[in-house]
Structure 1
Amino acid sequence: MTKLKTLIKNLQTELSIINEATVKTHLSKELTKQLAVLEYKKLQLIKLNKPVEEISEEISNLSSNLKVKPPKINEDLHEKLVNNESPNLNQLSNIINYLKSQRIYTELVERYNPGLAMDQEDKIRRTANRVGLSIPETK
Structure 2
Amino acid sequence: MRAMVSDYGFPPASGVRFDSSSSSNVILLAYCDPEFLFTFRLTEKSDVYSFGVVLVELLTGRPPLMGDSDCFDYVTTEWAKTMFEQGRGSVILDPHIPRIPATMIVMEKVLALAVLCLNREGKNRPTMAFCAEALEQISEEYTLLLFGPHDQNR
TM-score, with normalisation over the residues of structure 1?
0.28
Q: Which protein has the larger Cα radius of gyration, Structure 1 or Structure 2?
A: 1
Question: Higher strand share goes to which structure?
Answer: 2
TM-score, with normalisation over the residues of structure 2?
0.25
